[in-house]
Chains A and B, each alone.
Chain A
């Protein structure tokens, strides 16, 4: 039970990161390999600067982190994507990896080599039911992610901005002919993906400590995308939950040392045997 809740909580964060990958992928057909580093940066801004340094309470700190990361997302797409929009996708891939290396190391300089520990709203307190204890933080993560997904659903289905973003993702040229400013929508998409990563970082900060290791969440999120099927919103969330559960269960039943290796092995297995993912709705994606 404990493991299921922990797995689902971690998994829902991986799902958020996977959504971040998917929105950018749908909009411009590239994968932002610095997504994990965005999660790390979000965690640092929230934990290292806003909470520990400025002593802000949770909600303002969360909002400020989200805003900072949204702006950062727009700036970074201007640097790593926009100049390369007509180049081979492999160049964008390299530029996002380089951005990731820069972010990892600049964060070492800005926030130091020691991991930043944040207690979060609930510390290590948990709910005791029938002899098992479940951390409040895990429940809180699940609630937050569900609320976020509901807002997102409303945004993309009902608002004009959301509809325009979907239009650009579906057919950029047609959207531009309809008078939609496609590059603005792409910038907003990057901003939104970065915000998702930031929220992931904020929610994870109390669970793990904030350090460069947090950037590994990016690879878990990528695994979630593959397992759920690329370009599929529901798939990304399901994929995230699968990865979270696999990680928690393999840590407790097989080996905590090899848990990341097991996630990788499953990822490679999926890539080889079922590259379209569990849901398999996405038609042949040529990445």
Chain B
């Protein structure tokens, strides 16, 4: 099984499972967490393009997420836009931020890029908190509308869930098509060896800027859905810790393997809620788990899966040999 076939099979399986999971979960709270998980899937699909495919450690996801959420919230509540134009605006707005933020990558690599994006995320949070005239400051924005089809409004959480899941699936398809295109090859080239990529004529800077922009377009949609799901947003959630949680989702899944990132997003949305009873210990343990993954299983879920398939193939091969002997 080649890589993109494995990816498609896994993706179809995961989305079917997510669709079946909704009626199986009975608790209202966990239904809500599941909806959040799907929104995180959308956003992590964006991060997958920058981090998973292009290998740039983007530590400003909370900034993208915050900007997208506020664009949809403000466009619908203050500018009187409908849900759809607002969602488009949120996607394009964050995509544009990606372009603006991507331009510094002309010069920046590795640590410089990460620290710059940390700075971007923190500055965004400061502005959302303190520019009260526009953002409502620490009080946040209320009464954000749900999506509508004509006069049919998705106030029902079940409807909203399947709507988000459909969007997530659509974006996963787009991301997969992109990955299999020549741009996907260029992304991976930059990730694996930037110098070599440059040497064979890939414009690595242009590719990175494009990756940032694509990420922004995706995250904008996820962030818009986030405001719409909650109908209320406030600035204190968009922290550096959240940015790192998104990076961890990709890492847990396996860098460069979209189904892995999707599983990572679901797992890391549920884990904090399920480990609530550990209270303060949770984040300390979470830090240790991430450390353990980086050191012992750097390939994440994808690495484990590939190792398993490889071993099975080897085992089969050996059986055949025994058979002929």
Contact = CB atoms under 8 A, between A and B. Distances in A.
B57 A93 contact: yes
Interface string A248-281: 0000000001101100110110011001000000
A268 B284 contact: no
B251 interface: yes
A222 B115 contact: yes
A84 B294 contact: yes
A266 to B, nearest CB: 10
A105 B280 contact: yes
Contact of A105 (B118, B284, B294): B284
Report, as a range, how many residues of chain A touch the other chain: 35 or more
A94 B112 contact: no
B17 to A, nearest CB: 28
Contact of A101 (B119, B120, B290): B290
Query: Which applies to chain B's interface (DSSP): helix, strand, loop or mixed?
Result: helix
B284 A109 contact: yes
B140 interface: no
A260 B125 CA distance: 11
Contacts of A159: none
A261 B241 contact: no
B295 to A, nearest CB: 5
B104 interface: yes
Contact of B57 (A84, A94, A104, A257): A94
Contacts of B251: 94
Nearest to B121: A264
B114 interface: yes
B281 A260 contact: no
A108 B287 CA distance: 13
Contacts of B280: 105, 108-109
A153 B294 CA distance: 36
A79 interface: yes
Nearest to A216: B122
Contact of B244 (A101, A108, A257, A287): A101
A102 B112 contact: no
B264 interface: no
A84 B112 CA distance: 20
A90 B104 contact: no
Given A90-B55, A98-B287, A105-B287, 9 more contacts: A87-B298, A89-B110, A93-B110, A95-B294, A102-B287, A105-B280, A258-B130, A261-B122, A261-B123
7 contacts: A84-B295, A91-B294, A97-B244, A99-B291, A219-B119, A257-B130, A286-B109
Interface of A: 31, 79-80, 83-84, 87, 89-91, 93-95, 97-106, 108-109, 219, 222, 226, 257-258, 260-261, 264-265, 267-268, 271-272, 275, 286-287
